[in-house]
Each structure stands twice: as C-alpha cells, then as structure tokens.
A and B are shown apart, each in its own frame.
Chain A
Amino acid sequence: MRLLLVTLLLTPVCGMAQTLVLTVSGNPVALNASGCGNNVAGAWTGTNLTAACNAMQIWATASTTCGSAPSTTNSPPDVVVQTVQARDLQNGTTCGTYSFAFNTLPSFTSNACGANVDFTNYLCASVTSRSGTGSCDGTVAQASSLSIRYDNISPPPPLLSVTPLDSKLSVGITATGSSTDISDVQFFNVEFTVNPTDGGTPTWIGVGGNISANSGSLTINNLTNGTVYLVRGYSIDEASNISAPSTPVEGEPVVTYGFYANYVDDGGQDTGGCTAAGGALSGLSVAAVAILALVRRRG
C-alpha cells in the first residue's frame, strides 16, 4: 500500500514552522460494496505543535473543500473521525493513528453502502495555533485532496480488436463509455477459448493477468494456426468493479513467411548455427597471427 501524504504548513509561531502530515492507507482509497465492512486507517504526524491551542481534528466531508473546521451545516454534515486534545499536543505528542468505519462516511447518510452510486468524500485535518497576542486565533491549517471514494458502478465492457499472427493473436483493448468511464478504467482482463463448433459451452482461459489500461494490448502465444479462437475482455475500474464481458471477437492464427522461411522455400540450405563455419575460426586466427608477425618483422 502506498501512502498519500498531505502536508499542512502552519504560519510560524515564535519563529518555528509547524507542520502536520496526514496519511491514509491506500492511495487512492477507492472501494466498492465489498468494502462496506472495511475500516479506513491512517496516521498523522506533526512538528512544533506545542503552540496548538485547541484540539486537532481529523474529519471526513462530502464537500470538495475542507474548510477550517468540521461543519455541521454541510449537507450531509461532516463526520469527525479523530480528535487529539490540545494538552496532548502541548505536552509533545507529535504523531498518532486513526481508524474509522468506511460506511460512516458522510455521503452514506443518504446512500446505503451497497447502493450503485459513485461518490468521493475527503479526509481533512486541522489544528489552530496561538497567535502572537496569545489568543487562540492563529493560523488554522487545513488538509484537502485526501480522497476516499465509494464506487459501486461497473464500467462498460471494453472494445477488442484481434489481429492474426503466426501461432499468435495480437489483441488490442480499448475502454469505452464516457470520458469519465474511460479514465476510470485501470486494468483489463482478457480470456480466450477455442470457438466451439458443436455449439457447446466454451471454456474460457484467462491470459495476461491484469493488463494496464495504459498498455491496452496483449499477445496470446502458443496457439494453433488454422483454429478459430474467441477472445473477450473485461474492464476493471479504480474501485475494482469489473465490467460485463465484451462481445467475443474471433481470431484465427495463420502461417506467415519471414525472410528465413522464404530463404528455405527458395532452396536455401543454411540451417543456422555456428558449426557451418567449419575450420574457418582457426583459419582466421592463424591468418591474424601471421599478419601480425609479418607486420612486426618488417616494422
């Protein structure tokens, strides 16, 4: 799991810069309905927080901006997930962890976890420092862009193209749908099977694992020329939702003739390798030594 770091810089108080770093496990956090029972966990660290004059709060919001503190007037209201008392900060506490149930995100007040919706909430943190006058009205740090997404909508299936090669099929895969759908696709999966000529049920074989959406291509090797195969694919989005299978595309590997095949067909007798040279290597060595000896003698 990578960690997403959000650094908050507070205005220096007494000449010391205050920092607050909020991290969350998983970058980005994006879950579908299978994650409704999960917890979102992370950690925070800070420096020079002894000037804090009120509690540090970590909260989730459905708003795209964090604001300076959790809001009860937002709709849905923000949810505070962690509070660190000011006295603990003043006494030198500089780090801690937090954890909260994924299904307590603000947007779940109007959507059941399991509903086919797609929303993003944000995790924020702030702490207020004492100002130069000594009152608790110094700069407030605020975090943003630490996103937590719930997405239970499957992406559209991809569009496949198949190019026949010699004992291989080259598969091109393209995400479909709206621009949001397309940018949301992270991986493709591909399956193939021999086209059942008797109307039987095909046995699909997965190939290539998770294929990056940036790549969008795959070669299926070790196939039989002249056999018709079916190939289909799936799109997988950021929240691991899997699309329905794409419409199967037929492909038939074919024999192709390269330079060496043409050479053999035209009567060429070279079977490759180095042994055909016979004694040429030793001949070359003898000749090279002879040239050197001759040159040195005359020089």
Chain B
Amino acid sequence: MSRAALLATLSVSLPALAQSDVPRTLPNTTILEFKLGFYQPEVGKAPGMTQDPYVQTFGNSAMLVGGGEVDHSFWRGYGWFGIGFSILYGEKYAKATLSDGSPSAEATGLMVLPIQVMAVYRYDVLASRYHIPFVPYVEAGLVCEPWWTRKGGSVEVVNGNSGSGVKWGLGSIFGLALQLDFLDPKYAREAREDSGIYHFYLFGEFDVNWVNNFGGNGLNLSANFWTFGLAFEF
C-alpha cells in the first residue's frame, strides 16, 4: 500500500482513536480464507542436483496455486491465537521434450497439494481497540505436500519408479490483512447482525516453506511465495 493510501486510511480511522474502547472480552471466531498465489518449488536445490528440472521443464515461471484456509481461535486475550488448516492446489504444464530438446506432442505436468496445520497469531488489537484496520499475523506449522507428475495423460514413470509421492516439512506465513469494515460501517454492522460475519478482510501473505522431508534427499518442494485473498471472520 502506498504512503498516500495509508495516510488516507488512517485519516478515516483516527477519529475513532480518541474514543478507543475499554478492552473487552472478544468471542472466539473462525476465519475462512480463499487465496491465490504463485508457487515455484526450489527443486534444483536438493542435494546432488545438477540442474533445476522445474526450470528446465516449465521455464522460470511459477505455477498458480489456489485454495482455502480455516482458522479458529482459542484465546483472545491480546490478539487472536488459534489453530489453522489450509490446503492449496497447483499445477504446471509444458510440452515434454524429445531427446534433442525440442518439444514433443505430449504434455508433462507437475501437480502439488500443500496441506498445512499451523498455529496462528493475529495481532488484531489495532483493529479491535483502536479501529486501525490492519491485522498483521504470523502462522507456523507442519506441511504435508502430496505431489505427482503426468506425461501423456498418465503418471510419469521413469526406470520403473512412479513420479508421485508425499513430502513433509515446515511452513510459516507472514501476513497483513486489511479489515474492510471502514469502507461501509453500516453494511459491516448489518453483516454482523444478519449473517454473523464479524469482519471481511483483504490480505496478502508471504509463505516460507521448507518441504524437503526435513532436510532429506528427494524432491525439494520448498518455496517462498506470495498469496493474496479474501477472508471472512465469523
């Protein structure tokens, strides 16, 4: 967000600072997120790799990933602390190559399905107490990532080994959510009363994942990537 936009947002919110509420007990809530991002696994960084087969096959182009996340809070003392579960899906296709490197008539693809279980902390004190609509948050947890390849309409097999499996690792997320209530406080209040939706958010987050079986050999699906999306807190 540009400095001008930030100032504009604060100018809307600052009047409320003068009447900041006395801290009150907030209910535990669930946050539902839908997000999209671009993911490029660091396949070439595995031990023993001479090239990056991802770049070799698909070019230096990230795959589009999309999915959702559900977080639920268990403690609202100072911020929002809870547990989250997220699942993304991404795929990337290109032409398989002939022995001379030229493209063949067959397509080859890599599909990934990162699944994460995370501890989540959202610093929503600014929004809940001072009406500053920004909620920074961090998440950390475990990643399970099924992956599979395809060539010519079926899972690619090389030397009798099937190109599919599951990788494990650790993941972390650093995000910033913009609470949208200030855009239309009346609508936000109605949504809360009618649908039980406390807040709407737009968010951007940076994912740092180490998905290489905790440093083991094999396919390295680690990646640092951005995702963006829309969230509902209810």
Contact = CB atoms under 8 A, between A and B. Distances in A.
A292 B51 contact: no
B26 to A, nearest CB: 13
Q: Which of the four size classes fits the interface of chain B?
A: 35 or more
B57 interface: yes
Contacts, number: 164
Contact of A266 (B52, B142, B152, B164): B52
Given A276-B213, A299-B75, A258 B156 contact: yes
A81 interface: no
A258 B168 contact: no
A268 B96 contact: no
Interface in B20-58: 43-44, 46-54, 56-58
Tell me what chain B mostly uses at the interface: helix, strand, loop, or mixed: strand
A101 interface: no
Nearest to B115: A284
Contacts of A263: 43, 53, 163, 219
Interface in A242-273: 254-273
Interface stretch (B99-107, B180-188, B189-197): B99-107
Contacts of B217: 269-270
Contact of B158 (A264, A267, A276, A291): A264
Most buried by B among A258, A260, A271, A274: A258
B117 interface: yes
Nearest to A280: B168
A265 B56 CA distance: 11
A272 B161 contact: yes
Contacts of B82: 295
Give the interface residue-count category, chain A: 35 or more
B108 interface: yes
A137 B157 CA distance: 78
B55 to A, nearest CB: 10
Nearest to B140: A291
A257 B99 contact: yes
Interface in B84-142: 94, 96-99, 104-106, 108-110, 117, 119, 141-142
B165 to A, nearest CB: 4
Given A164-B104, A257-B99, A259-B109, 14 more contacts: A164-B105, A256-B152, A259-B54, A259-B58, A263-B53, A264-B158, A264-B161, A269-B46, A269-B218, A270-B217, A271-B161, A276-B218, A287-B117, A295-B74
Interface of B: 43-44, 46-54, 56-58, 74-75, 81-83, 94, 96-99, 104-106, 108-110, 117, 119, 141-142, 144, 149-152, 156-159, 161-168, 213-214, 216-219
Considering the complex of A and B, which 8 residue pairs feature the smallest CB-CB distances, nearest first?
A258-B108, A260-B163, A258-B151, A270-B218, A280-B168, A262-B53, A256-B96, A270-B219
